[in-house]
Amino acid sequence: MRVHYLQHVPFEDSANIGNWAKANEHSLTKTEIYKGQPYPDISDIDMLAIMGGPMNIFQYRDYPWLKNEKVFIEKAIEKGIKVIGICLGAQLIADVLGARVTQNPYVEIGWHEVTLTKAGTSSNILQDFTKTFTAFHWHGDTFEIPKEAIHLAFSEACTNQAFQYKENVIGLQFHLEYSQESIEKMLDNCSDELIDAPYVQNKEHIRKNYHLIKSNIELLNTFFKYFL
């Protein structure tokens, strides 16, 4: 399988999605959008992963490439290839599908529980997930569930944590792909977002729970087992 990912900033790469691809002998390519790299031909990829980033999806003045990225994502969805968006990536997909993306009532950073909806527990893609699991989060925005999409999961701080559109598109607000290195990069580059708020954990609490990364990797591998 030909896996391609879109990277928005130097410190948010494919992380454990890349490790999964290599372990399963899939090819792995990328477009570092922030460098102005060109997009591949849609026919040259089988799965598209859209990673996170600190910007919001309408920040065109600072990141004018967002407009072209949305066009590329729309083409990928229409082509029927497998598309997964994470955090910013999920918000971009939601916008492309006509759903609103707004500020979430709470900033959500750290290790927080995610609970599957009734539809989520019935999803073939999430069939081996427990109803409630702990995942890593780092976001201040949220998406509405697109029309014709299925609402899969929620958390206490954020009502819409995951959705599925048709059989080929998944949006996840939380990060199953983050490695310890990924989180350390976030702590280095985005520590100003660690404000005193109900759902924002400090560096010590986040680092104390690095043992949870292993279970997140297992969930990620389970996800891909059924998504593909």
Terminus-to-terminus CA distance in the chain, angstroms? 10
SS3 194: coil
Beta bridge partners of 143: 101
**CA pair distance 155, 115, nearest whole angstrom:** 6
For residue 175, indicate whether it is catalytic: yes
Q: Which of 4, 112, 139, 175 is catalytic?
A: 175
55 within 8 A of 8, measured Cβ to Cβ: yes
Q: Which of 12, 69, 144, 177 is catalytic?
A: 177
Burial class (CB in 10 A: 0-12, 13-18, 19+), 90: buried
Q: If we measure between CA atoms, which residue out of 228, 91, 221, 119 comes closest to residue 168?
A: 228
SS3 162: strand
Q: Which of 87, 137, 151, 158 is catalytic?
A: 87
**CA pair distance 4, 18, nearest whole angstrom:** 9
Q: Hey, what are 196's tokens?
A: 């005193």
CA separation, residue 222 to residues 50, 86, 129, 169, 228 (Å): 19, 16, 8, 16, 10
Q: Hey, what are 161's tokens?
A: 């944590």
91 φ, ψ (degrees, to nearest 5):
-65, -40
For residue 87, indicate whether it is catalytic: yes
Residues identified as active-site: 87, 175, 177
